[in-house]
């Protein structure tokens, strides 16, 4: 049997992780009240969708490798990472921790907007104007839908309260 490429192994591990999320971790770890009117409002819906998206992504990675698109053998990304990649990964970890802490003070809407803006800086996006618009419009529209239409409370901060 030929030696499997590391991206095939990575894709298979990602797919197994997604299955563990969908069938074990989400049903055990996410509680859903019986009084939920619609499946769309259930707290289990979005984690399950994300788990299946992760599964599909792993499957696409495996499929890409099996169809013959391989990276050259002389490139070893772990031995010679691109300039600043580890710094950006560390900055992303700090961003996630800061986002978690900021929700209590400024609320989920504004913390999400700021986190999205900082993320565009970390990944060096070329579309800064679009990112600025999306960073504020998406959390505000999401808040408006969930709070005013669906009746689901969104965490508000201590300093800034939305109507």
> What is the chain's Cα-based Rg?
20
17 is in which domain, residue-wise?
A: 3-66
98 occurs within a structural domain: yes
Is there a domain that residue 159 lies in? no
Q: Is the pTM of this model over 0.85?
A: no
74 within some domain: no
Looking at the fold, whether 134 and 90 belong to one and the same domain comes out as yes
108 and 136 fall within a common domain: yes
Q: Based on the domain organization, do 143 and 89 belong to the same domain?
A: yes
Q: Which of 66, 96, 113 is the C-terminal boundary of a domain? A: 66
Burial class for 107, CB neighbours closer than 10 Å (0-12, 13-18, 19+): buried
Residue at 162 is within a domain: no
How far, in Å, CA of 39 to CA of 140, rounded?
23
Query: Which of 23-37, 61-75, 94-108, 133-147 is predicted with the least confidence, judged by mean pLDDT?
Result: 61-75
| pLDDT confidence bin for 1, thresholds 50/70/90 | very low
Distance CA 68, CA 66 (A): 5
- Total tally of structural domains belonging to the chain: 2
In a domain, 80, yes or no: no
Q: Which range is least confidently modeled, 4-13, 55-64, 134-143, 153-162?
A: 153-162
């Amino acid at each position: 049997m030929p030696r499997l490429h590391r991206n095939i192994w990575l894709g298979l591990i990602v797919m197994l992780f997604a299955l563990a999320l969908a069938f074990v971790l989400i049903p055990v770890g996410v509680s859903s009240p019986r009084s939920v009117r619609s499946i769309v409002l259930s707290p289990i819906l979005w984690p399950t969708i994300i788990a299946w998206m992760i599964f599909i992504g792993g499957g696409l990675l495996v499929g890409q490798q099996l169809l013959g698109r391989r990276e050259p053998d002389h490139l070893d990304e772990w031995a010679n990472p691109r300039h600043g990649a580890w710094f950006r990964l560390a900055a992303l970890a700090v961003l996630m921790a800061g986002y978690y802490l900021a929700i209590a003070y400024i609320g989920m809407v504004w913390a999400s907007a700021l986190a999205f803006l900082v993320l565009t800086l970390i990944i060096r996006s070329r579309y800064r104007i679009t990112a600025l618009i999306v960073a504020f419009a998406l959390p505000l529209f999401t808040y408006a839908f969930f709070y005013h239409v669906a009746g689901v409370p969104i965490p508000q901060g201590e300093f800034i309260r939305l109507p």
